[in-house]
Amino acid sequence: MRRRTVVITLAVGAAAVLFADAVVQKMRGPVLPAYEVAVQPLVQTVVATGRVSAVSRAQVGSSITGIVRERRVREGDQVRPGDVLAVLQSDVQEAELRQARAALAELQHSTRPQAHKAWQQARTQWQQAQRELQRRTALVAQQAIAHEELEQAAQAENQARIAMEQAQLQARSLQSGQPQEALALARVASAQAALDKTIIRAEMAGTILTRNAEPGDVVQAGQVLFDMARAEDTEVLVALDEKNLETLALGQPATCIADAYPHQPFTAQVSFIAPRIDPQRGTVDVRLTVAPVPEFLRQDMTISVNIQTGQQEQAIAIPNDAIAGLGQGTPQAWVVEDGRIQRRTLHLGLRGLAQTQVLQGVQPGDWVLADGQAALTPGQRVQVQAQKLPWAP
């Protein structure tokens, strides 16, 4: 009987201890995960997705109608100024050039010498007519011939002089640098230019993006045959939410990762911020210059971009999940004071991917609940269960 009494007494005592512990735990409040506020380096970033884009592109086409005889490049080829991209059939242009050159050669080596010789002959005939006129004038003075013969000599001299002057003008018009030769040279240059147009060349250094013609195709004047990306600085074009404008600035560094090469990050720098907002999407276009350019980059490749918009070496920061209303007007956090929770309004600074700088509202050593959205009552007792910071090693 005494043994049973002892057992009952022990059981009652254990139950009383458990009950007392439960009462104490209830008085202390629930155990909730929390972070200790600390001072640490903080980097503010803006994350977005963009695409590789050339600084500028060019469309190369034909200025004449013709048939493609050769295509000498394909997509991805690197070209320099003057490189041949395609060749059109040029039979007609070559024939016109030969004809123009033949006309110029005939002028220089046949027509011009003949005109000069004709001028010399006309001058000789005029000189002979002059001497004959002088002879007959003397004979008329001696009354050796009739006056009518003198008139005939004068008329012959006048006709010879006119013929000589015309021959002289013709010879001079055919001299080097005169209009007739200039016209012949212009025809040669025009024919040569027409022939040159049958060869489609690159006007600048760049990369062939697309080709729109193959041998045998008939192309029209103005038709685009190749799209090229100029060989200038490579850029990444991203469309950022306009709410990030306040933190963006030219020259900010960025880390980029191509979706196709996730283990090969590369650096870039903000080089352009569009002066206008896209009203449909509420975004602003931002260009980042890539230097040096990785060999694996391709036009229109998808790129994940992390732009560093701010940095603090010593910042009071708490994890983003401990902040309620982050990105809104009145961010708040649950702060533990003497075992009780209080709702504090925070004044925030730089915002990182996992943490945000707090300018007012908490101090180093304070404890903030990990769940800033928790539905609790101010003044409620809680117990802190320390949590490792998300960015801690």
Residue 294 gets which letter from DSSP?
P
Looking at residue 373, what is its pLDDT?
Answer: 84
* pLDDT digit string, tens, across residues 172-199: 877 887 888 888 889 999 999 999 999 9
Name which of 19-28, 87-96, 271-280 the model is least confident about.
Answer: 19-28
- Asked if 241 and 268 sit in the same domain, the reply is yes
Structure tokens belonging to residue 156: 């012959």
Above 60 in pLDDT, residue 281? yes
Stretch 347-353: mean pLDDT, rounded?
A: 81
| CATH number of the domain within which 277 lies | 2.40.30.170
- Provide mean pLDDT across the span 242-263: 91
Looking at the structure, do residues 71 and 102 belong to the same domain, yes or no? no
Q: What's the distance, CA 32 to chain centroid?
A: 53
Whether residues 216 and 302 share a domain: the answer is no
Based on the domain organization, do 307 and 289 belong to the same domain?
yes
Span 376-388, mean pLDDT?
88
Number of structural domains the chain divides into: 3
Q: Dihedral angle at the C-alpha atoms of 226, 227, 230, 231, nearest 10 degrees?
A: -70
Which comes out higher in pLDDT, residue 24 or 71?
71
Same-domain check for residues 104 and 170: yes
Q: Please, what is the average pLDDT of the chain?
A: 85
Using one digit for the tens of pLDDT, what is the confidence trace for 41-56? Answer: 888 888 889 999 876 7
Average pLDDT over residues 343-353: 85
Average pLDDT over residues 209-236: 87
Q: Would you state the structure tokens that stand for residue 97, as one six-digit string?
A: 């050039």
User: pLDDT value at position 162?
Assistant: 92
In this structure, the answer to whether residues 72 and 113 fall within a common structural domain is no
The more confident residue out of 7 and 205 is 205
- The band of 149, judged by pLDDT with boundaries at 50, 70 and 90, is confident
Q: Residue 29 above 70 pLDDT?
A: yes
Other residues' Cβ atoms within 10 Å of the Cβ of residue 392: 8
Do 206 and 238 lie in one domain? The reply is: no
* Confidence band for 277, pLDDT divided at 50, 70 and 90: very high
Distance CA 36, CA 364 (A): 8
Q: Rounded distance, CA 313 to CA 30, Å?
A: 36
pLDDT of residue 22: 44
pLDDT band at 3 (very low <50, low <70, confident <90, very high): low
Give the residue from 274, 290, 311 where a domain finishes: 311
333 within some domain: no
Last residue of a domain, one of 254, 279, 311: 311
Q: What is the pTM of this model?
A: 0.52
**pLDDT above 90 coverage of the chain, percent:** 35
Q: Indicate which CATH number applies to the domain containing 72.
A: 2.40.50.100
**Tokens 């027409």 belong to which residue?**
194
Distance CA 208, CA 57 (A): 10
List all residues 6 or more positions away from 102 whose beta carbon is below 8 Å from its beta carbon.
none
Residues 70 and 215 in one domain: yes
* Strand ranges of the sheet holding 31-36, from the earlier edge strand across to the other edge: 340-345, 332-337, 367-369, 31-36, 383-386
> Phi and psi of 226, rounded to 5°?
-140, 145
Mean pLDDT for 210-232 is 88
Hey, what amino acid is at 353?
Answer: L
Six-digit token string for 41: 């380096």
- Treating both helix axes as pointing N-terminal to C-terminal, what angle do 112-141 and 147-173 enclose, rounded to 10 degrees? 160
83 contacts 202 by C-beta, under 8 angstroms: yes
Q: Domain of residue 219: give its range.
A: 58-86+199-230
- Whether residue 129 is contained in a domain is answered as yes
Whether the bond into 364 is cis, omega within 30 of 0: no
Question: What is the band of 16 on the pLDDT scale with cuts at 50, 70, 90?
Answer: very low
Listed residues 178, 211, 230: the one ending a domain: 230
Identify the pLDDT of residue 167: 84
The C-alpha atoms of residue 161 and residue 107 are separated, in whole angstroms, by 26
Residue 19 is predicted with a pLDDT of 46
Banded model confidence at residue 8, pLDDT cuts 50, 70, 90 = low
Tokens of 278: 């896209």
Contact criterion met (CB below 8 Å) for 365 and 36: yes
Least confident of 25-29, 332-336, 346-350: 25-29
Burial letters for 58-69: b for 16+ Cβ neighbours within 10 Å, e otherwise?
A: bebebeeebebe
pLDDT value at position 207?
84
